[in-house]
Amino acid sequence: MRGSVGALLWRGVLAALLVCFVGVLPWLAHTDPALTVLKARDMERAATPEVLDAVRRQLGLGDGPLALLGEWLGGLPRGDAGRSWLSGEPVLPVVGQALGVSLLLTGVALGVAVVTAGLVCARTLRHGARRRLSGRRAGGTGTAVLAALPEFLTASVLATVVGVHLGWLPALGWYGPQWTVLPALALGLPAGAVLGRLLDDLLPGAFAEPWATAAAARGLGGWRIARMALRRCVPALLPNAGLFVVGLTGGAVAVERVFDIPGLGRTTLQAALAQDLPVLQAGTLALLLLGAAATALAHLAARLLTGPAPRDGAVPPLHRRPRTARGSLPVAYGVLLLAVVALGLPRDPLALDTAERLRAPSVSHPFGTDALGRDVLARVAHGALDTLLPAVGVSAVALACGVLLGLLPRVSGPLVDTVNAVPPVLGALLVTAVAGRGASTPALAVAVVAWAPLAAHTSALLRQERAALHITATRAFGAGPLYLLRRELLPAVLPPVLRHALLRLPGVALALASLTFLGLGAQPPSPEWGLLLAENQPYAERAPWAVLAPAAVLALLGALAVSAAGGRRTARRASRAVRPALTPPPAPAPAPVAARPPS
């Protein structure tokens, strides 16, 4: 009870700090809020000192940020979040309407993600139901390609092809349920691919547990055993599923921009760019409350699915022995990626030739040319360093921070919920306000939020592993916390979390690309892959190769990351699950005789 109250207080403190930080954002960025608001209201109006003074008096900026923040917080208990600095309308109806739009879109996207995750792990479920998992190779190439597709690129392709050319579904606006299909597909397909891959990674361990063997020996049907294996694995994924809910709601800024959807992410971004503090603060608070609700529901669902087993120390571990790495696919993908970079590096990525603009792929230009006649292959190759090195560095930092903070769930749990409630775009704006605009700002902004899913995954696996029977037996032999952490817990938790980090490597590259796509990252004429997608996206209909080239390389990066972490499935025998309990660790004092297992 005391721990729950402490965690609740910790969540409240973090949420209050974030809202207060947002409230003083313009002053931290050393910008004039009056000038920003004036330009957002009327770009043509001259910013004379008299006009700026009038705006300051109207908004009450002369009282300082703390007075404005206190006034805004004081109105919340009365249901008053202030009025928009731009439109003068009450904030709560605007944010409430945007939240309703985002929740509807998130619900449909989650449905798409669940179906996609089911398709990803269907092969493993089928083989597991037939008891044929041993020696089967793990899938992942198609999943990696699907997860590596940029959401904004998928949205652009769906809007152009399905919405405009084929006319099957509406592409722009938000006027009814049929307008949710295309954006939900753009959001749900990559999320479902990631969740499906994580679930596919856990299922072989569930099928190899003694209960599955006993159920098959009793004559239970294979698909019934498969449903039980799903129930066994889902609790370990629910924390990440809760993170996806908030990420789909607040992080769908690029998709909402492509489809012209008035969602919460887009509303919050517009408020941040225009420094409309009342709307920005209310939107951030809504995201925080949504994150807290999603996390609470995820923990409640996990507790209902697992029952009293974790409390009684009767949960067998889901991890299995490391899989034998596949040597052919990672090498093939790596050689192909290196070949693209090697062929393009000798070419000039900045050479302009307007006579060759938007040329189709040919011998002289294997990837075609862009709108300025520049060689796309050269720009893709030279942009590899600008894209891959920050992505690898951010992924390594996120993995280290995620594992370390995941080992402290009481501290990291509320912190994960708070960090995940911040869309990457808003995080980039906050980081820019503190660190200033620079080449490293996007990487720093993504690193601030990239560790959260890994920490949640680490905590979930650690919670289940600590409840395993062999941990209880090993502790009874006199093993201390450090021994358990070093010899039992970390070897069980690190392999799946490392595979998760590799699976998210393309996602980190996409997050950097998304910031560039929204104008918050690299600037022209940099050949960074996200900037290539942003520059060539308006010409996707006339010159699809200019967009498909960087998208294909991103998909190749995802296939390389997943295949490098994959391998041949090895079913873990039941005897291995109890072997640690039969091998006492070295202890300074002998364990009591009564605690020793019979020989």
> Average pLDDT, stretch 471-482?
72
Predicted local distance difference test score (pLDDT) of residue 552: 81
CA angle 499, 503, 508 (to 5 degrees): 130
For residue range 51-65, what is the model confidence (pLDDT) as tens digits? 888 888 888 887 778
| Residue 17, both tokens | 């700090």
Cα 476 to Cα 484: distance, rounded to the nearest angstrom: 11
For residue range 285-343, what is the model confidence (pLDDT) as tens digits? 887 788 778 777 877 887 787 766 555 555 555 555 444 444 577 788 888 989 998 99
For residue range 273-297, what is the model confidence (pLDDT) as tens digits? 787 888 888 888 887 788 778 777 8
Predicted local distance difference test score (pLDDT) of residue 374: 92
Predicted local distance difference test score (pLDDT) of residue 576: 38
For residue range 389-407, what is the model confidence (pLDDT) as tens digits? 888 888 899 899 888 888 8
Does 66 have pLDDT greater than 50? yes
Q: Which of 387, 363, 385, 386 is nearest to 375 (CA)?
A: 363
Predicted local distance difference test score (pLDDT) of residue 437: 61
Which is more confident, 432 or 492?
A: 492
- C-beta separation of 516 from 450 below 8 A: no
> What's the full length of the chain, in residues?
599
DSSP H/E element including 6? helix 2-23
Q: Mean pLDDT in the chain?
A: 76
Which residues, other chains included, contact 107 with Cβ-Cβ below 8 Å and sequence gap of 6+? none
Predicted local distance difference test score (pLDDT) of residue 587: 41
User: 3-state SS of 399-441?
Assistant: HHHHHHHHCCHHHHHHHHHHHHCCCHHHHHHHHHHHHCCCCCH
Predicted local distance difference test score (pLDDT) of residue 425: 64
For residue range 185-230, what is the model confidence (pLDDT) as tens digits? 988 888 888 788 878 878 888 888 888 888 888 888 888 888 888 8
Does 474 have pLDDT greater than 50? yes
With pLDDT > 70 as the criterion, what percentage of the chain qualifies?
77
| Residue 353, both tokens | 């030739």
For residue range 102-121, what is the model confidence (pLDDT) as tens digits? 888 888 988 998 899 888 88
Does 139 have pLDDT greater than 70? no
Cα 228 to Cα 216: distance, rounded to the nearest angstrom: 12
Distance of CA 341 to the CA centre of its chain: 27
| Residue 366, both tokens | 């294997």
Respond yes or no on whether the N-terminal peptide bond of residue 525 is cis (omega within 30° of 0): yes
- C-beta separation of 402 from 457 below 8 A: yes
Predicted local distance difference test score (pLDDT) of residue 592: 37
Answering whether pTM is above 0.75, one says no
DSSP conformational letter for 495: H
Given pLDDT bands bounded at 50, 70 and 90, which one contains residue 589?
very low
- C-beta separation of 151 from 182 below 8 A: no
